[in-house]
């Protein structure tokens, strides 16, 4: 009987202890590496819907450099108590201009398959060179987005995660691109 107990990992109590430890470890990993957030508003439509729930990666964006097209979550520079989610368009050092609703970076037209024609804003915006350690961010729904066109470039210190996975509603389950 003693041999059986060892084989089973000390019976039900051992199984319960292992399960509890596994849940605790998973909780700690999720707590420090990922964070759930909810999309508030329509500025990222059609790819992210109002009230959609996402997981953001709080660790790898500090290791892997942010790239054009990444969807990031940050403290709104004009009111840090607000959380915004936008797409990185301009990287540090980029020269950017928006003419007739089209974004040009360093003289080249930016191809933006995530911006649907009906959500495009056809206004022109001043030229800007993105400063070091800052990013130019825009919402995918350009007509309904409070973004870098209005308040300037986003300091990297305000970014606290990269959106990686949508989990609610179930119909939108999947990786975020």
pLDDT tens-digit series, residues 65-90: 999 999 999 999 999 999 999 999 99
pLDDT, position 10 = 61
Please give the Cα distance from 80 to 96 (Å, whole number): 25
Q: Where are the alpha helices (DSSP H) in the chain?
A: 2-7, 11-33, 148-151
pTM (two decimals): 0.82
**What 8-state DSSP symbol labels residue 160?**
E
By the 8 A CB rule, do 100 and 125 touch? no
pLDDT tens digit sequence for 43-65:
999 999 999 999 999 988 768 89
Count CA within 13 A, CB hemisphere, residue 44. Answer: 26
* Catalytic positions, written as ranges: 43, 86
Helix, strand, coil fractions of the chain, as percent rounded to 5: 25, 35, 40
pLDDT of residue 25: 86
What tens digit of pLDDT does each residue of 83-132 get?
Answer: 999 999 999 999 999 998 899 999 999 999 999 888 887 788 889 999 99
**39-175: CATH architecture:** Ribbon (2.10)
Mean pLDDT of the region 142-156: 96
Q: Which position has the higher pLDDT, 173 or 119?
A: 173
Q: What is the mean pLDDT of the chain?
A: 90
Residue 60 to residues 66, 80, 101, 134: CA-CA distances in angstroms?
9, 22, 32, 18
């Amino acid at each position: 009987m003693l041999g059986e107990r060892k084989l089973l990992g000390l019976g039900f109590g051992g199984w319960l202890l292992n399960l509890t430890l596994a849940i605790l470890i998973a909780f700690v990993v999720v707590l420090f590496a990922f964070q759930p957030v909810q999309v508030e508003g329509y500025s990222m439509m059609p790819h992210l819907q109002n009230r959609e729930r996402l997981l953001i990666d709080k660790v790898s964006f500090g290791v892997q450099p942010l790239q054009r097209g990444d969807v990031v979550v940050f403290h709104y520079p004009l009111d840090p108590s607000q959380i915004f989610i936008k797409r990185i368009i301009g990287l540090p050092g980029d020269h950017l201009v928006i003419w007739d609703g089209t974004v040009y970076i360093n003289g080249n037209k930016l191809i933006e398959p995530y911006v649907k024609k009906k959500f495009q804003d056809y206004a022109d915006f001043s030229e800007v060179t993105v400063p070091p350690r800052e990013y130019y961010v825009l919402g995918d729904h350009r007509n309904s987005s409070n973004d870098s066109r209005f308040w300037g470039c986003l300091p990297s210190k305000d970014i606290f995660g990269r959106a990686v996975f949508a989990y609610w509603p179930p119909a939108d389950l999947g990786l975020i691109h």
